[in-house]
Structure 1
């Protein structure tokens, strides 16, 4: 029996990871872990299975974290990326494999510095193995292998939502992640060099076809730029960019919160305690994810465009309970973790998705989960 530890396994993405592990890794143990024991326990009990367990773990307590990872086959990190290095170093000491959802470019670069340590202990770490980054990287590597030269890569995702919500505002994922996509300077790879540009710059309209229509996207900070520029260097890459699309009304609301200072990292005094503004806002905003019982009906497309005309898409549809964007983030992470544990991805070291994942096998696994891959409009899985 293999043992998976899912840090933050009761969170938005963590739940999708655990659900997929439970469905496809049928004989293995899954440990839902995090600082909130009650949330971990309640989610674990919902499976009514002895192989789904829970554990309270304080990831800021090094000894506690290491002890919880010893004897486990892999740590799936679904907490905020600020803790990635702490968790990776604990995995090294516990001799445990590792996978995460990304490091917003800068953290990802730092994480690669631990490659020698993972190689020494004979363990594998895959960085940024969600939807974007993650699935997006594998789409790029698949399409790029067919081309003699890769001059440019554009990555963008879009959503279409038919859900009838009974709330004024719906948060698609972690508020802190969202705010960083709106406020941190995006990295772009241009003329063979990495540059940083103004937040929400580079507005561009994409035509995603009949169902998704035309949507406008702006540049945002993403880990793909840190790794794909190296992966395709020998093929002459000169440009790599990532854009995110949101409805205009959504952008206006988030922009207003930023303008009014609700995303500030400054401290304020509240009830005689120092409180960081962004933390207080996050506490409120994270309650605006879709409520349980709402029948979610949306689709998400992750698109990668190479050389302006080679297009590969991943299209995910919600399952009624979980949104498409959560599914296409959690499922790739689960697939990669299972691949590592079952020694289908047996290299040791620290890898980006494009270096570790076999696209054809990966796409077959995605098909089992109803995530469809298109190459220039033709289904390939």
Structure 2
């Protein structure tokens, strides 16, 4: 099996590439990136670890449709670790090239656009897994596992948190700003509601060593799929807890109107404050590989044998500094996509089409594979 890792030497893509390089069912890994020098240097690192599969590199411009198709068409699977703005473009290339597709999520609105390609992927006999990182991804699989224990699902509550990780933006500054500034969506009493950014602040407890964190509503892909995937569910909500320092920075940026999309003219050049901010932040150094713990908690409520029941699933993922040189953010985001890409390539997807993880991956089997990689999703029945 040949898998193409798009953006495979980026912050999240490195974990996906390492997972794929270690997988015995992947005969060839193509690391395709806009920065060929970085991809080549990373491929050399992987070869030094004596992985058995072939590792190749190629420069790719995902905005060039024909070139992208030519890059991926001799492979079976594309694992897309690029910023979510390119998701639909890559999916369209996969349809033309005849490749299965996976990504790390689309922040709700982009995911909705991607779901419109469901019929085309189904007709082509291909599977597109929409959002198989940590959240969305692991959270979806954990929710599906909880739903398997219940006769009916009524409520789903998703919480994430972290400890450590250094200063600044842990991954794409643009994506994080979108998460913090776009209007969140929640599903309550069977209806979608739009809320204010950074609203719904709540203190909650995560597994050790993360502990107590403060989270808030954020725009996320789980809300684009779970209300439809789990029949009868009445409530789905999501809260994320970033570091207080990062939230304070974003509060200031929002207060100064630097996240505005309104066009302004400065010294004869038309731009927007947000466009300049994205450009500037993208050029700032990213935090190095430091100790970090990432965690989520998923609570699934419903009925079992005619009575109310509540299942909780949690995970804590630690940085892999000694062997991979990657912090937990990359590990718990990139590894699941690598595991899923190999599974889809082996023909283990439950369905064809463009679908979320809760519909296309076997949760029990997937959780078992993750455990082999020290990503242990623990479940328990919460007594009333």
Q: Look up the match of 2:244.
A: 248
Q: Look up the match of 1:347.
A: 351
CA RMSD of aligned residues (A): 2.2
Matches of 2:122 and 2:311 in 1, distance apart?
A: 35
Cα drift, residue 69 of structure 1: 1.8
Matches of 1:241 and 1:273 in 2, distance apart?
A: 41
Cα drift, residue 260 of structure 1: 2.6
* Equivalenced residues, count: 367
Q: Look up the match of 1:281.
A: 277
After TM superposition, the structure 1 stretch with the greater mean CA deviation from structure 2, 313-322 or 49-58, is 49-58
Matches of 2:381 and 2:276 in 1, distance apart?
A: 44
Q: Look up the match of 1:21.
A: 20
Q: Look up the match of 1:182.
A: 180
User: Are 1:297 and 2:291 counterparts?
Assistant: yes
Q: Look up the match of 1:221.
A: 219
Contact 1:105–1:223 (CA under 8 A) maintained in structure 2: yes
SS in 2 for 1:263: coil
Could you give the per-residue CA deviations for residues 136-175 of structure 1, whole angstroms, max 9, x where no partner exists? 00000101111223221111111111x6x5xxx3321110
Contact 2:20–2:26 (CA under 8 A) maintained in structure 1: no
Matches of 1:76 and 1:333 in 2, distance apart?
A: 7
Matches of 2:210 and 2:379 in 1, distance apart?
A: 17
Contact 1:126–1:352 (CA under 8 A) maintained in structure 2: yes
Matches of 1:280 and 1:46 in 2, distance apart?
A: 34
Q: Look up the match of 1:111.
A: 114
Contact 1:25–1:338 (CA under 8 A) maintained in structure 2: no
Q: Look up the match of 1:313.
A: 314
Q: Look up the match of 2:79.
A: 76
Q: Look up the match of 1:91.
A: 94
Sort the Cα spacing of 1:175 and 1:301 in 2 relative to 1 into closer, same or farther, 3 A.
Answer: same
Cα drift, residue 61 of structure 1: 1.0
Q: Look up the match of 1:155.
A: 158
Contact 2:350–2:361 (CA under 8 A) maintained in structure 1: no
Q: 2:62 aligns with which of 40, 59, 83?
A: 59
After TM superposition, the structure 1 stretch with the greater mean CA deviation from structure 2, 68-77 or 31-40, is 31-40
Q: 1:196 aligns with which of 194, 197, 202?
A: 194
Cα drift, residue 126 of structure 1: 0.7
Contact 2:169–2:246 (CA under 8 A) maintained in structure 1: no
Matches of 1:311 and 1:239 in 2, distance apart?
A: 16
Q: Show structure 2 runs of 5+ residues with no match.
A: 302-308
SS in 2 for 1:145: helix
